[in-house]
């Protein structure tokens, strides 16, 4: 039952993640003239899309690798490598998303890192970089002792969920800020809930729901990789045809 529910949740999660990305792309295309790297306003538009794709959707998928029941049996190394590789891809997209906004700001002589959104955002990315580097050196490279790994594991798990929560806060504050900047028309202000606001608010809600679902799957104990001694009791879950 638990395995069946897990795959159903993954299907919902995948569709929801795709929807988050498509909604962000549509918002930038329909209301903000689409994408181009050589025009600073259009270069900015890559920022929300790459941040939602990298820091939320790919990050979420990468975090759930050890919840896949097939990862509970057999060698752990391929799953570790997949976990690290997906997170690396998420990090690369995130960095390109940051380059887009910093360079667009610099080109228009707008100050950097003045808003609450940018403070929360840069903290999120900094923690993500530390988390990836530490995770890679301690869990993937062979030199750390089992004692060091078991010491870092709960910290790694805590920060994994914490960084995702911060990423969701960054997205919500970023969407809000963009709407405040864009919806300046006095006859159709933000408070009159024009169609762009409805659409962007919906996008934000989808991201929040996606993030909560990832956190739920991460924290639900029946979907966690069993510790070595308990593994044999849970193995039937893999073969009961659900």
Footprint of ligand HEM on this chain (CB under 6 A)? 47-48, 51-52, 55, 98, 101-102, 105, 112-113, 115, 117-118, 121-122, 124-125, 167, 170-171, 174-175, 177-178, 181
The minimum distance between CB 32 and ligand HEM, in angstroms, equals: 9
Q: Which is nearer to ligand HEM, 47 or 67 (CB)?
A: 47
Q: Which is nearer to ligand HEM, 3 or 57 (CB)?
A: 57
Q: Which is nearer to ligand HEM, 131 or 170 (CB)?
A: 170
Q: Which is nearer to ligand HEM, 39 or 220 (CB)?
A: 39
Place of tokens 């300046």: 184
The minimum distance between CB 127 and ligand HEM, in angstroms, equals: 10
* 2-32 helix and 195-219 helix, angle to the nearest 10 degrees: 160
The minimum distance between CB 44 and ligand HEM, in angstroms, equals: 7
CB 48 within 8 A of CB 101: no
The minimum distance between CB 181 and ligand HEM, in angstroms, equals: 6
- What DSSP string runs through 91-107? HHHHHHHHHHHHHHHHH
- Which contacts of 60-65 are long-range, i.e. CB under 8 A and separated by 24 or more positions? 60/13, 60/17, 60/164, 60/210, 60/211, 60/214, 61/13, 61/14, 61/17, 61/86, 62/86, 62/87, 62/89, 62/90, 63/160, 63/161, 63/164, 63/214, 63/218, 64/10, 64/13, 64/214, 64/217, 64/218
Q: Which is nearer to ligand HEM, 86 or 125 (CB)?
A: 125
The minimum distance between CB 27 and ligand HEM, in angstroms, equals: 8
CB 48 within 8 A of CB 12: no
């Amino acid at each position: 039952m638990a395995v069946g529910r897990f795959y159903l949740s993954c299907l919902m999660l995948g569709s929801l993640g795709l929807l988050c990305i498509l909604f962000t792309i549509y918002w930038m295309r329909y209301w903000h003239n689409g994408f181009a790297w050589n025009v600073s306003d259009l270069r900015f538009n890559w920022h929300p899309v790459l941040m939602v794709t990298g820091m939320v959707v790919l990050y979420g998928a990468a975090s759930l690798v050890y919840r896949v029941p097939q990862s509970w049996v057999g060698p752990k190394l391929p799953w570790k490598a997949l976990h690290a590789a997906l997170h690396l891809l998420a990090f690369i997209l995130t960095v390109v998303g940051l380059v887009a906004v910093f360079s667009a700001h610099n080109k228009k002589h707008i100050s950097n890192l003045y808003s609450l959104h940018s403070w929360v955002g840069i903290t999120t990315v900094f923690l993500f970089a530390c988390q990836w580097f530490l995770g890679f050196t301690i869990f993937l490279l062979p030199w750390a002792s089992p004692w060091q790994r078991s010491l870092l594991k709960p910290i790694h798990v805590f920060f994994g969920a914490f960084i995702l929560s911060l990423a969701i806060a960054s997205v919500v504050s970023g969407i809000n800020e963009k709407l405040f900047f864009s919806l300046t028309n006095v006859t159709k202000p933000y408070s009159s809930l024009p169609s762009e606001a409805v659409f962007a608010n919906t996008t934000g809600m989808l991201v929040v729901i996606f993030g909560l679902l990832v956190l739920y799957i991460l924290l639900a104990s029946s979907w966690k990789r069993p510790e070595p001694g308990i593994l044999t009791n849970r193995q039937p879950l893999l073969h009961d045809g659900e």
